[in-house]
Amino acid sequence: MNEKILIVCSKSHIDLAREYKDYYKIGVERGCLDLIKAGLPINYAVGDFDSVSEDEFKEIEAYSDELVRFPAAKDLIDGEIAIQYAVSRKPQEVVFIADGSRIDMTIAAVGLVAEYDVILRNDDNYCYLLKEGNNFVPYKEGYKYISFLSFDKSLVNIRGFLYNAENLAVSWKSVNATSNEFVDKVGGNVEVFSGQTLAFYCN
């Protein structure tokens, strides 16, 4: 399928209406309110909705084609239910907007990128999973750094960036892989031999 899906969990300054107008839109909890604020209809609203007021919930209901309320005591972290539903639609792309101050939740969100092959985005970060084999990693306006990290120790070649390396073991912290930079606003190449390698655009 050619469907692209946007999942909104958190507030951001991203122009949702401009960038994601044609996406199938899923709102998670208060993320529904951000879709509404952007003037976008919600295709699928999901959450326990404990974090919204009764009036907000009514507004979300009114803007949603479909709403699924699940109980607060749940096994999956917020957002994973939305990702599982999104992935079940076999889309071409899933963008997951999430942000917050909790480090455990941040790590869990990055784990979801690796597990479900979705894009994690917020005001300061754009993170996705590289494929095994060669990956062209394009320059993206608005980001200074590109980092490569892995939870399970991957093996890669990094070429065409400011810092390059051959047969580099990438972990949660890797010389030549963290805070790398683009040269002349052109992309570079990352060849993944084994393991799951995540790319992070950030500032």
Sole window of 15-23, 34-42, 111-119, 187-195 interacting with its own copies (rule: CB under 8 A): 111-119
Quote the longest CA-to-CA distance of the chain: 56
Contact 200, 125 (CB under 8 A): yes
Nearer to its own copies, 1 or 175 (CB): 175
As a whole number of angstroms, the distance between CA 16 and CA 97 comes to: 10
As a whole number of angstroms, the distance between CA 154 and CA 15 comes to: 34
Which amino acid would we find at residue 162? L
Which residue in the set 64, 135, 147, 197 belongs to the binding site for its own copies (CB under 8 A)?
147
Nearer to its own copies, 52 or 105 (CB): 105
Q: What is the DSSP annotation of 39-98?
A: T--BSEEEE--TTS-HHHHHHHHHHBS-EEE--SS-SSPTTHHHHHHHHHT--SEEEEE-
179 in contact with its own copies (CB under 8 A): yes
112 in contact with its own copies (CB under 8 A): yes
155 in contact with its own copies (CB under 8 A): no
* Strand 133-137 to 188-194 pairing: antiparallel
16 in contact with its own copies (CB under 8 A): no
203 in contact with its own copies (CB under 8 A): yes
Nearer to its own copies, 60 or 113 (CB): 113
Nearer to its own copies, 40 or 198 (CB): 198
Which residue in the set 61, 145, 164, 181 belongs to the binding site for its own copies (CB under 8 A)?
145
154 in contact with its own copies (CB under 8 A): no
